[in-house]
Structures are given as structure tokens and as C-alpha cells.
């Protein structure tokens, strides 16, 4: 690892502190180095709040050192006025002449303009240090802007014998396959994504809240497939506390600002239509939590980026089979007696 990689890696570590709080902005970290020592660092903490470069500059005690320092940033400094002024202008104004950047920003309002502005001002700019790692950090942001759809995470829990639900469910409540630690982790994941999607059968059988009640963080927008509008109106999904999008074949309007109905053509490609709706609602990521039919539809269409699969120790012997899919496992861990595997779509 060379010296530039060392500091960009630190930028990535800092940026991760903002996960789940910066939407629609990307995760960004920045460090300022003088004579091989970090004299300032910061990360983008929340949309509308100062960017990483601003926080890094503000943390430097002796501002006279800035002109002799190098600023590292995991993503290209912005060049446009949004809710905050351009960070490229700040770097230029502070007289920082050396800039090392992890990845180019794919957002159309930036997309190389920040780099160009810095170079035209006489800055020495190096781009592409740990580029893949910096892109992975903002996989949601990059997918949204480059593929015009949300980053798609599939998630389910299955029994040791491969079922995700029993054949008969007596009550309208979830049947838990995994332990309390796995359950809490799922709520943490929800706080990190912008939307959560379930199908009709899951909404009816489990009556899920799809919130982050077991973890501190923002609730994702709830989306539910309900072709015939069969889900009971008294369901938790319609409690009005969280924005909820109902994907249906019917034309329907809502007087509730937190409830929207989106008409789909159920005779056509459903996953891509759902992605188009979520993209239109500016949702950069979605975690699909079920049921089996919904998950299988996305895997059959090869429209997913990541899968997170829990396997518990219980057995149902019969019931709803877990989805079938093909992906590359890149990580595996355990939470007590539960096994958790992570897959990427190759």
C-alpha cells in the first residue's frame, strides 16, 4: 500500500460514518495531510450539512498549513451550488495545491467538472486511487446515476431445510426463523437503505411494519406489490407513519401524503417497472424482504445486485421454498447459531 492509498483508505473509513444519513448525497470522507501527518479530517454527515472537505478544512487548527498540505477525498469535489457551495471552490480559495481523489463523481452536475476546475486553478490533481473501493463505497449512488435504477439488495431467512415460511400460518404476524441478533441486524440494514419492498402474500400473512424499531435510524420508504388491492386497510403498512408506495394494476388516488398508488402493467416485465417507479421517487436503494414469489421474480430477471441470506437451525419440513438463484458468495459469518451469507450478482 502506497502513501496515497493509505490516506484514501482513511477517507473511506470516515465516509462510512454517514451511511444511511446522507441521501440523496453520496458518502464522502476527506483527510488533509501535512508532512506525512493528518492535520484535519471529516466526512459528509447529512444531506444539507457541510461536505467532507469543508469539515476536514474546518478541523485544521493551524490554517496556515493548508497551502503546504495535500487534501485527500474519496469522491471528486463538487463543482456546483446545491444546498452548499462547491467544495472545489473551497479547496482553491484555501490555496491547497495538491488534491488526491478516489473516484470521479457520476452525478451529471459534477462528472469531471470539479477536477477540471481544480486543474485550471493550478492544482496538482491525482485521480483513481483505490478507485474500485471508492466506487463500492457508493454502490447505491453509482447504480442510481449510471443505471437509472436503485441498488437492489435481496434478503431472506431460511430454515436449515430450505423453507422461508411454513405451509400454514395461523396468525397475521411474522414466523421468526432467526434469532434476536439477526433480527436487530436486519433493522440496522433497513436504516441504511432508502426503500424496502415486499409482496402481497407477505403483507397479508405477516402484517409487517417494515420500520427500524430495533435500531436508531431513518425508516425506509415502504413499497408493496398489491395487484388487486387485497391487503386489508387496517394493515400496519397503511398506518400513515411512513411513506408507503402501493404497486397495483388499479388507478387509485390517496388523500394521505404518506400513501401513494402507482399503476403497473402486470402483463409486462414487473421488476423493471418497479425499478422505474422507485427511480422516479428518487430512491437510490431498495432491500427486498419477500416473499418468495417477489424475490424469485427479481432473480429470474437477473435484476439484483446483492443477496443476504440467513439460515437458521429450525426445520419446517414443508412450506414455502427459499428462492433459487446464482451468485458469488463474498462473505460469510455467524450470529450465534444463525449463518449469514452475502452474495454478489456476477
Q: Is the preceding peptide bond at 232 cis, omega within 30 degrees of 0?
A: no
300 labelled ligand-binding: no
Residue 274: how many CB atoms within 10 A of its CB?
27
Q: What is the CATH number of domain 148-344?
A: 3.40.430.10
87 labelled ligand-binding: yes
Residue 120: how many CB atoms within 10 A of its CB?
10
Counts for the chain of helices (H) and strands (E), in that order: 10, 16
C-alpha–C-alpha distance, residues 179 and 223, integer Å = 25
Q: Where in the chain is the domain with CATH 3.40.430.10?
A: 148-344
pLDDT tens across 41-57, in order? 999 999 889 999 999 99
Residue 174 pLDDT: 78
Q: Is the preceding peptide bond at 154 cis, omega within 30 degrees of 0?
A: no
Q: Where in the chain is the domain with CATH 3.40.140.10?
A: 3-141
C-alpha–C-alpha distance, residues 41 and 61, integer Å = 11
- Going by the DSSP 8-state scheme, the letter that residue 107 receives in this structure is S
C-alpha–C-alpha distance, residues 346 and 343, integer Å = 9
69-89 average pLDDT score: 85
The pLDDT-based confidence of 80 (bands split at 50, 70, 90) is low
Q: Do strands 70-75 and 29-34 pair parallel, antiparallel, or not at all (unpaired)?
A: antiparallel
Residue 85 pLDDT: 76
**Percent of the chain, pLDDT > 90?**
85
197-211 average pLDDT score: 94
Which three three-digit cell numbers place residue 132? 474500485
pLDDT at 86 over 90: no
Lowest mean pLDDT among 26-40, 135-149, 197-211, 248-262: 248-262
Residue 209 pLDDT: 96
**Percent of the chain, pLDDT > 70?**
97
Which three three-digit cell numbers place residue 210? 417494515
The pLDDT-based confidence of 237 (bands split at 50, 70, 90) is very high
- Residue 153's DSSP bridge partners are 287, 306
The pLDDT-based confidence of 83 (bands split at 50, 70, 90) is low
C-alpha–C-alpha distance, residues 308 and 256, integer Å = 33
149 labelled ligand-binding: no
152-173 average pLDDT score: 88
- Going by the DSSP 8-state scheme, the letter that residue 330 receives in this structure is E
Identify the H or E element spanning 55: helix 52-59
Residue 118 pLDDT: 93
CA 317 from centre of chain: 35
Residue 101 pLDDT: 97
pLDDT tens across 166-184, in order? 877 777 777 889 999 999 9
289 labelled ligand-binding: yes
2-15 average pLDDT score: 97
Residues 42/55, Cβ–Cβ less than 8 Å: yes
Residue 278 pLDDT: 98
Comparing 252 with 287, which gets the higher pLDDT? 287
User: Which architecture characterizes domain 3-141 according to CATH?
Assistant: 3-Layer(aba) Sandwich (3.40)
Please state, rounded to an integer, the average pLDDT across all residues of the chain.
93
Residues labelled catalytic = 53
51 labelled ligand-binding: yes
C-alpha–C-alpha distance, residues 31 and 9, integer Å = 10
Amino acid at each position: 500500500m502506497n502513501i496515497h492509498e493509505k490516506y484514501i483508505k482513511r477517507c473511506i473509513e470516515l465516509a462510512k460514518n454517514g451511511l444511511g444519513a446522507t441521501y440523496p448525497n453520496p458518502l464522502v470522507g476527506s483527510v488533509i495531510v501535512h508532512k506525512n501527518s493528518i492535520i484535519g479530517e471529516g466526512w459528509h454527515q447529512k444531506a444539507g450539512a457541510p461536505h467532507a472537505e469543508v469539515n476536514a478544512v474546518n478541523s485544521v487548527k493551524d490554517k496556515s498549513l493548508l497551502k503546504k498540505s495535500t487534501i485527500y477525498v474519496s469522491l471528486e469535489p463538487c463543482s456546483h451550488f446545491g444546498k452548499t457551495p462547491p467544495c472545489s471552490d473551497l479547496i482553491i480559495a484555501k490555496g491547497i495545491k495538491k488534491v488526491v481523489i478516489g473516484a470521479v463523481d457520476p452525478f451529471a452536475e459534477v462528472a469531471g467538472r470539479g477536477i477540471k476546475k481544480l486543474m485550471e486553478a493550478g492544482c496538482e490533481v491525482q485521480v483513481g486511487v483505490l478507485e474500485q473501493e471508492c466506487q463500492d463505497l457508493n454502490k447505491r449512488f453509482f447504480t442510481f446515476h449510471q443505471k437509472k435504477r436503485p441498488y437492489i439488495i435481496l434478503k431472506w431467512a431460511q430454515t436449515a431445510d430450505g423453507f422461508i415460511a411454513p405451509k400454514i400460518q395461523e396468525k397475521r404476524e411474522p414466523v421468526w426463523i432467526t434469532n434476536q441478533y439477526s433480527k436487530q441486524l436486519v433493522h440496522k440494514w433497513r436504516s441504511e437503505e432508502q426503500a424496502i419492498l415486499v409482496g402481497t402474500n407477505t403483507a397479508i400473512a405477516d402484517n409487517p411494519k417494515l420500520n427500524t424499531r430495533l435500531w436508531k435510524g431513518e425508516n425506509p420508504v415502504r413499497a408493496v406489490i398489491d395487484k388487486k388491492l387485497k391487503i386489508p386497510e387496517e394493515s400496519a403498512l397503511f398506518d400513515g407513519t411512513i411513506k408507503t408506495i402501493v404497486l397495483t394494476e388499479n388507478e387509485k388516488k390517496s388523500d394521505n401524503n404518506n400513501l401513494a398508488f402507482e399503476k403497473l402493467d402486470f402483463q409486462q416485465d414487473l421488476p423493471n417497472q418497479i425499478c422505474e417507479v422507485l427511480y422516479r421517487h428518487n430512491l437510490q436503494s431498495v432491500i427486498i424482504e419477500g416473499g418468495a414469489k417477489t424475490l424469485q421474480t427479481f432473480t429470474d430477471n437477473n435484476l439484483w445486485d446483492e443477496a443476504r441470506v440467513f439460515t437458521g437451525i429450525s426445520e419446517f419440513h414443508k412450506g414455502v421454498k427459499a428462492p433459487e438463484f446464482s451468485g458469488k458468495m463474498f462473505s460469510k459469518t455467524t450470529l450465534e447459531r444463525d449463518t449469514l451469507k452475502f452474495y454478489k450478482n456476477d
